[in-house]
Structure 1
Amino acid sequence: MRVKIQKKHLSLAIVLFILYLAIRYWPTVAKLIHSITRASAPLLIGCMVAYVVNILLNQYELLYSKIFKTKETQKYRRLFGIIFAYLTIILILIIVSSLVIPELVSCIKLLVTNHGQVINNFIRTIEHNKELGALWNSFDLEKIKWNQVGQYFTVGLGGTFKAVVSTASSVVSVFTTTLIALFFSIYLLIYKEMLIRQIKHIINAYLPKLSDHIFYVIKVINDSYSNYIIGQCKDAALLGICCFIGMSILRMPYASMIGVVTAIGALIPIVGAILGASIGVIIIFAISPIQAGFFLIFIIFLQQFDNRVTYPLVVGKSIGLPSVWVFTAVIIGGGIYGILGMMFTVPLFAAIYKIIGQDTRNRLVTKQKMFI
């Protein structure tokens, strides 16, 4: 009996000791975690890309199975699904870029032109102002320490060179990370059945008593994130299309670019609608303040229609999370990791809400049976 008690509490003692070491040497542990996270960033990004692409992959594989039903053609189902899934994403990016970039260039040119007019007006004001002219004339060029000026420009050029080198290295690093993540996501999609089978074998071997609960939790989390991604993308696309059509009918400028911005903003819960509307108002305000006011009224009505009609029909109760918990998830996620944190925590909270709710109901049913 004594040996059994020692074995029973051995794992708890080890966990407590590891926790003590982590707290005692937290700076070292934090640096280690940061180094591991930074080194594995391409793999983590590849996992996220593979998860999103897998949603399209499943649909294309289902379509392929309906069209080609022979065993020989089924060998190419995964290849067909992967190619068309990535082509779909690339096509979406090309369409979005073709809609946004021309109008973005036009908007920048307009802002630069207006900015030049402001500078010209500022220079004219200085020239016609007697007090500013007297101040300029009192400026003695002989008192300037030209050695310090030369040193300043030298240091400034060196700093500029360092900034250029740093920017170039950052671009190369981002390109390398993207390339590694892309190839890793493809590998994950090719061997996803093998990886799932291996993970199941490990869980069944080392945690046989908890395996059913672990598989249930994984299934709930997977369903929550899949439903969230599909629902949000559908709703965002509809909202962007409606925004583009409405702005085209009202003859507002930059309809396609603001429609894309509105659709991208709709992917972010709660805050995204405000961000999309704010960007649209600022862009249109540079051309016409009156049209900016009309756009604000239009986007408020459009978002109210989306919240009350489109979103419930398209997304429905797929997330299954009350609004108060959605707001809580957005605040916590935004505080931890900004916009990406907001998008990540909402389906996570939905999964936790469902798991806790189901467990609570099971416990209450068991408790009622005990009293019967």
Structure 2
Amino acid sequence: MSDKKRIPYLNFIPLLIIAFILYKIINKIDFFLFININLLSILSPVIWAFAIAYLLNSPMSYIERNFKLKRGWSILIIYMFVIGITTIFITIVSPRIINSILDLLKNLPDYIKITDIWITEKITDLKLLDNYGITPYVEDGLNKIIEQVGNYLNSILSAVVSKAINFTSTIFKIILSMIIAVYFLKDKEIFILSLKKVVFALLNKQMAKGVIEFAAELDRLFSQFIIGKFIDSCIIGAMCFIGLLIIKAPYALLLSLIVGIANMIPYFGPFIGAVPAVAITLFDSPIKAIWVLVFIIALQQFDGLFLGPMILGDKVGLSPFWIILAIIIGGGMFGVIGMFLGVPIMAVIKALFDKFINKRLDAQNIRM
């Protein structure tokens, strides 16, 4: 009888073991994070290779389909084009951008000092502030703002230079990723089939079909949205460069690159790109800064009303509310990358959710 009473307590032993293991994991969380970080670092060439292969898959498929070339020749043509563009960027564009950043870093203290003097003079001219004795408070507040903005810009530019220097040390990883990407592209059907087998092996049939459907829809939207947005941003960046040259704004190449990259982010991108462009030009000339602001606003209106719809159409099928929500959630969770990738992911989730709702309504013979 006493044995029967003791046996139920044995059921707690697995729970105690699990609790003990979890306790040890929590205490050694730094160790597991260290392993994960190192594992990601080791696998980074493979991850980059997958990203490269994914981006090059659409143009490769286009060449295969329209020019009736074999897979190997299609990959060779795409790689020759990419290597050519990369070589031009590294040898011609990149040195000028780095020189612009270094020159801006060197001149930044002078720009801040000039701005400080100009603001102080304008405040002094406003006799009304003196009458109420608030001039010192306004000057102090503005000086703090200028100092903070200067420190912020300085830290950003220093980080950019640091990344540019680190980039040169990752050339080997990039070359390795490009080589691995060839095998992803060459045998993509084999990899896709293997992934499908894994999904069907781990999940039940209905759930596996749902996962594959989600992946297919995500792939369709991603490929259309990313390539379309990339082409759109390249055109906007090129037009911005020409416009800034006409305005004679300083660091035209650097500023147009910032505007082009920021344009990849829907809705908020134009504002993100305009802020540093106007702020940097303001140090050189307030009049030019106004022209730069007007030009970028006009350029973004042209993009939003004509160029964007012409290239992208209605690829994502989301209303402005859902796009803004996707950007906020994506940006809050994953930063700038999340702001960009959040839109197509939200589009897929919404499309599948709408499909599920419509299926449920049809099952109940409800028409709305």
- Output the TM-score relative to the length of structure 1: 0.68
Structure with greater Cα Rg: 1
Could you tell me which residue of structure 2 aligns to residue 59 of structure 1? 62
Tell me which moved more, 78-87 or 218-227: 78-87
Deviation of 1:299 after TM superposition, in Å, equals: 0.8
Secondary structure of 1:40's aligned partner: helix
Q: Which of 51, 74, 83 is equivalent to 2:76?
A: 83
Q: Can you list the C-alpha shifts for 1:350-370, whole angstroms capped at 9, x where unaligned? A: 11111111111111111117x
Could you tell me which residue of structure 1 aligns to residue 357 of structure 2? 360
Taking the TM superposition and a 5 Å limit, the aligned residue runs for 1:262-341 are 262-341=259-338
Distance 1:60 1:366, change over 3 A: same
Aligned residue pairs, count? 298
- Asked if 1:112 is matched to 2:109, the reply is no
Q: Can you list the C-alpha shifts for 1:304-329, whole angstroms capped at 9, x where unaligned? A: 22222322222111011222222222
Could you tell me which residue of structure 1 aligns to residue 211 of structure 2? 214
Distance 1:283 1:196, change over 3 A: same
Q: Which of 38, 46, 50 is equivalent to 1:43?
A: 46
* Percent identity of equivalent pairs: 27
Asked if the contact 2:233–2:264 (Cα under 8 Å) also holds between the matched residues in 1, the reply is yes
Deviation of 1:37 after TM superposition, in Å, equals: 3.2
Measure, in 2, the Cα distance between the counterparts of 1:351 and 1:20.
41
Measure, in 2, the Cα distance between the counterparts of 1:176 and 1:33.
22
Q: Can you list the C-alpha shifts for 1:62-88, whole angstroms capped at 9, x where unaligned? A: 2431xxxxxxxx5xx222221222233
State the one-letter code of the partner of 1:216: E
Instruction: Give RMSD over aligned pairs.
Output: 3.6
Deviation of 1:348 after TM superposition, in Å, equals: 1.1
Which blocks of at least 5 consecutive residues in structure 1 are unaligned? 1-16, 66-73, 120-165
Asked if the contact 2:247–2:291 (Cα under 8 Å) also holds between the matched residues in 1, the reply is no
Taking the TM superposition and a 5 Å limit, the aligned residue runs for 1:229-244 are 229-244=226-241
Measure, in 1, the Cα distance between the counterparts of 2:302 and 2:267.
15
Asked if the contact 1:96–1:260 (Cα under 8 Å) also holds between the matched residues in 2, the reply is no
Q: Can you list the C-alpha shifts for 1:187-239, whole angstroms capped at 9, x where unaligned? A: 21111111122223344455434343232111111011111112211221222
Deviation of 1:27 after TM superposition, in Å, equals: 5.9
- Asked if 1:200 is matched to 2:196, the reply is yes
Deviation of 1:60 after TM superposition, in Å, equals: 2.2
Distance 1:351 1:118, change over 3 A: closer
Could you tell me which residue of structure 2 aligns to residue 139 of structure 1? none
Distance 1:363 1:237, change over 3 A: same
Asked if the contact 1:334–1:342 (Cα under 8 Å) also holds between the matched residues in 2, the reply is yes
Asked if the contact 1:282–1:292 (Cα under 8 Å) also holds between the matched residues in 2, the reply is yes
Deviation of 1:52 after TM superposition, in Å, equals: 0.8
Secondary structure of 1:311's aligned partner: helix
Which blocks of at least 5 consecutive residues in structure 2 are unaligned? 1-16, 114-161
Measure, in 1, the Cα distance between the counterparts of 2:258 and 2:166.
26
Deviation of 1:89 after TM superposition, in Å, equals: 2.6
Measure, in 2, the Cα distance between the counterparts of 1:235 and 1:104.
24
State the one-letter code of the partner of 1:310: L
Measure, in 2, the Cα distance between the counterparts of 1:99 and 1:361.
51
Secondary structure of 2:170's aligned partner: helix
Secondary structure of 2:314's aligned partner: coil
Asked if the contact 2:100–2:254 (Cα under 8 Å) also holds between the matched residues in 1, the reply is no
Distance 1:103 1:47, change over 3 A: closer
Q: Can you list the C-alpha shifts for 1:113-161, whole angstroms capped at 9, x where unaligned? A: 6857999xxxxxxxxxxxxxxxxxxxxxxxxxxxxxxxxxxxxxxxxxx
- Output the TM-score relative to the length of structure 2: 0.69
Asked if the contact 1:100–1:260 (Cα under 8 Å) also holds between the matched residues in 2, the reply is no
State the one-letter code of the partner of 1:79: G
Q: Can you list the C-alpha shifts for 1:281-337, whole angstroms capped at 9, x where unaligned? A: 233234322111111111112212222232222211101122222222222222222
Asked if the contact 1:252–1:291 (Cα under 8 Å) also holds between the matched residues in 2, the reply is yes
Asked if the contact 1:99–1:257 (Cα under 8 Å) also holds between the matched residues in 2, the reply is no
